[in-house]
Amino acid sequence: MQSPAGQLLCALVLIGFSTLTAPHARAADWYVDPGASGAADGRSLADAWTSLADVDWGAGGVDAGDVLHLRGGSYSEQLQPGASGAAGAPIEIRAYDGEPVSITGVPMCMRLHDLAYLRVIGISCDATGEYVDIRRSHHVEVAHGRFERSTRQDSWPVGFRLVESSHHNWIHHNVIGAVGYATSDDHGGVMNLGRWEDSHDDSHYNLIEHNVLFHGGHHVMEVSSAYNVIRHNHFHNEEWMSGGLYGNRHLVFDGPGDNTGWNLIEGNSFASCGVPPDDSGVAGVSLRSQHNIVRRNLFYDNDTAGLNLSSPGYHVTSYDPPGNVRNNHVYHNVMFHNGHATYVTDPGLLGGISFLQYGDSDEIELTFIKNNIMWDNNVGAISFESSSRDLQIIEDNWEEAGDPLFVDDEAAIVPAQPELLDFHLDPSSPCVDNGGFLTRTSGAGSGTTLPVEDAGYFTDGFGVPGVLGDLIQLEGQGVTARVVAVDHDADVLTLDTALFWSDGLGVAQPYVGARPDQGAFEHDPGGELDAGTATDAGVTPDARAGVDTGQAVAADAGSGLDAGATPEGCRCDAARAGHAWLALLLPGWLTWRRASRSRPR
């Protein structure tokens, strides 16, 4: 039975995404069926078009508010919609009645260029050169599909591209991976947001959530844009290329200084990055941009550091304006068993978090590292290579100070099965009530305008549909308020609920007890936290949401969410790609497990 918290959260999701996929009156239903033998005008199942190329788009065909149903089967042709929807009336392309639909054998599976308000639901790509190419498009949703076995082995293949100022797009509940190849170098990646070589690519405000992202050549995901939300995904990139010899990093943030940064990375798990073909080791996530929030993530079993902050020399020589690595906020994460590399011996690279400064690049500075748990990392909690701890703000972390007593960190680590480990805190953990407040109030007052010492810990959701602002709680007070605006220049939070405060009062995400806990999950045995505040901004569905494989997606009557996105609607194909665990999906599901379970000893 779904918990009241889960019910509330699902309701919040439905409300939050109304601007992207609002309920609408369907203007018409259209059909494609390769086996149809009728009039081939697309107006009924009997008279369905027999190929994607036959579909009429725009006036007289599939237009705003319409639904195009694809009968199950394998299509050896590209999906290339020729019309856009409108706000409140998207065009929807979906698998008919949940039948398995797969596009295969083409160089590009889906070409989504110059489009708006489009939903692609339950359509998979198997053994195509690349998967989805989104350019100059906005309010495009791709969900409940499987995208695997890229066949492109030349140049630089990318599975999903969101580029050329594509914005406000939503990629969710998919399995996406196996893109790239190795020679003496590494090539390609699973997903790119923006292009690092283009300082005018404003591919901002995209939401990437509840996906499995795995096996990329140079990376799984590269982010070269701003104001994106990447949450509740599971990444793994262990050795898979060249017969299992090479892997690589999960996620890299990099690009020109003014156009890259201000992203939210929350509630993900980053497991088991492998050794690349062109280097002796690699970190799980490489952060090379500014003003990002990295919180409530799990970094474990990565070749070198779980998280690396890096300032490469090309930031100065290749980017205009130069890139910089400043004012990043890294808090409430778990860094477990990282840096146990086979070939890397440099201790500066083998901490749970590492800092790496190259040549004449700008100093890495003002990294705020707070309330993280670092445990069982090779050379310690945080390591530095040509960089300085004195330039960062590092406090209230568990820095290899002894066993933090997770519920279960002793199970075997299997990259594609994150549910085997449980990084909630045992009730007897020394990390319970051992964290610090993120920031403090500046002066006494009351109302909905809250001045703080550092507003950079918080987000108002960036205006991304479906992403609410943070919930905050003041020291010693039980009430919470939601952030609706952040003024970074003035360090002021605007709230939806009036509070009162004294000068120097602690400000945190919602917590239980005298102080926040360290680590990714607040220990909450009595269920006292408000819904959705343990790991995210308040809109995550119930923990059992899962990933629908796109092979059995029920119609949702225009609700904006599909059956697989709600707790009781999960369907997973346990037989494919070793991802049978997806029915429990990602660290987010752990939020609703009983944190009071006893730790096995």
pLDDT score, position 357: 84
Give the residue, 538 or 415, on which the prediction is more confident.
415
- On whether residue 346 sits in a domain, the answer given is no
Half-sphere exposure of 588 (CA within 13 A, CB side): 36
Which of 266-270, 473-477, 535-539 is the least confident region?
535-539
User: Do residues 481 and 507 touch, judged by C-beta distance below 8 A?
Assistant: no
Pairing of strands 91-95, 67-70: parallel
Tell me, yes or no, whether 548 lies in a domain.
Answer: no
pLDDT band of 528, cuts 50, 70, 90: confident
Q: What is the mean pLDDT of residues 393-398?
A: 98
Q: What is the pLDDT of residue 317?
A: 58
Instruction: Give a yes or no: residue 468 inside a domain.
Output: yes
* b/e sequence 447-480, b meaning 16+ C-beta within 10 Å: eeebbbebbbbbbbbbebbbbbbbbbbbbeeeeb
Amino acid, single-letter form, for residue 440 = R
Over residues 288-312, mean pLDDT:
94
pLDDT for residue 600 is more than 50: no
Where residue 16 falls among pLDDT bands split at 50, 70, 90?
very low
Q: Is residue 463 part of a domain?
A: yes
Average pLDDT, integer, range 116-127: 98
Alpha-carbon gap, residue 198 to 164, rounded angstroms = 9
539 vs 219: which has the higher pLDDT: 219
Q: What is the tens place of the pLDDT at every residue in 445-465?
A: 999 999 999 999 999 999 999
Backbone phi, then psi, for 309, in 5-degree steps? -100, 120
Determine the Cα–Cα distance for residues 369 and 178; give it in Å rounded to an integer.
33
d(CA 219, CA 100): 29
Q: How far apart are CA 261 and CA 193, in angstroms?
A: 12
pLDDT at 573 over 60: no
Average pLDDT estimate for 488-494: 98
Does some domain include residue 446? yes
CB-based contact 459:537 (threshold 8 Å): yes
- 492 or 345, which is more confident: 492
Distance CA 549, CA 510 (A): 34
| Within a domain: 276 | no
Q: Where is average pLDDT lowest: 8-12, 87-91, 232-236?
A: 8-12
Cβ-based burial of 243 (10 A; exposed 0-12, middle 13-18, buried ≥19) = exposed
Residues 336-353 pLDDT 10s: 999 998 888 888 889 999
Residue 8 confidence (pLDDT): 33
Average pLDDT over residues 308-337: 82
For residue 451, what is the domain's CATH number?
Answer: 2.40.30
Sign of the Cα pseudo-torsion (338, 266, 203, 80, in order): positive
Q: Is the pLDDT of residue 580 over 50?
A: no
How high is the pLDDT of residue 542? 25
pLDDT category at 197 given cuts 50, 70, 90 is: confident
Model pLDDT, residue 593: 32
pLDDT at 320: 64
Q: Backbone dihedral region of 156: left (phi > 0), alpha (psi from -120 to 50 degrees) or beta?
A: beta
| Containing structural domain, residue 497 | 439-508
The Cα–Cα gap between 520 and 300 comes to 13
CA distances from 334 to 307, 409, 434, 542 (A): 10, 11, 14, 22
Residue 556 confidence (pLDDT) above 70:
no
At 146 the pLDDT is 98
Average pLDDT over residues 474-499: 97
Query: What confidence score (pLDDT) does residue 260 get?
Result: 87
Does position 17 have pLDDT exceeding 90, yes or no?
no
Q: Is 545 part of a structural domain of the chain?
A: no
- Whole-angstrom CA distances from 184 to 149, 307, 415 are 21, 25, 25
Lowest mean pLDDT among 57-71, 109-123, 374-388, 556-570: 556-570
- What average pLDDT does range 279-305 have in this prediction? 94
Residues 298-322 have a mean pLDDT of 81
Confidence grade of residue 319 (pLDDT, cut at 50, 70, 90): low
Contact of 343 with 383, CB cutoff 8 Å: no
pLDDT of residue 411: 96
Distance CA 197, CA 323 (A): 12
The three-class DSSP label of residue 275 is coil
Choose between 333 and 589: higher pLDDT.
Answer: 333
Mean predicted lDDT score pLDDT of the chain: 85
Spatial distance between the Cα atoms of 442 and 420, rounded to a whole number of angstroms: 43
H or E stretch covering 146: strand 146-148
The whole-number pLDDT of residue 176 equals 98
pLDDT at 358: 78
Look at the block and give the residue holding tokens 């594509």: 166
Between 404 and 559, residue with greater pLDDT:
404
Of 143-147, 265-269, 352-356, the least confident: 352-356
Q: Is residue 68 domain-resident?
A: no
Bridge partners of 251, per DSSP, are: 221, 285
Q: How many domains does the chain have?
A: 1
